[in-house]
Amino acid sequence: KYIPKGFEVISAGTKPSSEVNPIVLQAMNEISIDMQNQTPKTITQQIISEYEKTVNMECIEKESCPALFLNDVLNWQIHVPKGKPIEQIREIRDQIKV
């Protein structure tokens, strides 16, 4: 929705979980996006150097917020799905849907 066509998108976090949230998997399956083989990734210096833009969703822990240590960060202020019910995860999904 926010990203122009032709851009490659990856997801990584400062403190990712050990597995993708099963409720997120369900919400994505509802719109025919299969994420079964996806794994949470930690944002690394290599990822930072390979991509032109970094998009920040919501900072749960302010001290580990990517905006503090990255340049050229877009802050979308979209809630992180962690701990949210399926209804809220659907809303988050629809906000970032491309």
Write the pLDDT tens digit of every residue in 68-95.
666 677 777 788 888 999 999 999 999 8
Amino acid, single-letter form, for residue 17: S
From first CA to last CA, the distance across the chain in angstroms is 4
Write the pLDDT tens digit of every residue in 23-58.
999 999 999 999 999 999 998 888 888 887 777 777
Put simply, whether the predicted model's pTM sits higher than 0.85 gets the answer no
| CATH class of the domain comprising 22-96 | alpha beta
Q: What residue ranges do the domains of the chain occupy?
A: 22-96
CA–CA gap between residue 75 and residue 54 (Å, rounded): 9
Sign of the four-CA dihedral 37, 62, 43, 68 = positive
8 A C-beta contact, residue 47 and residue 10: yes
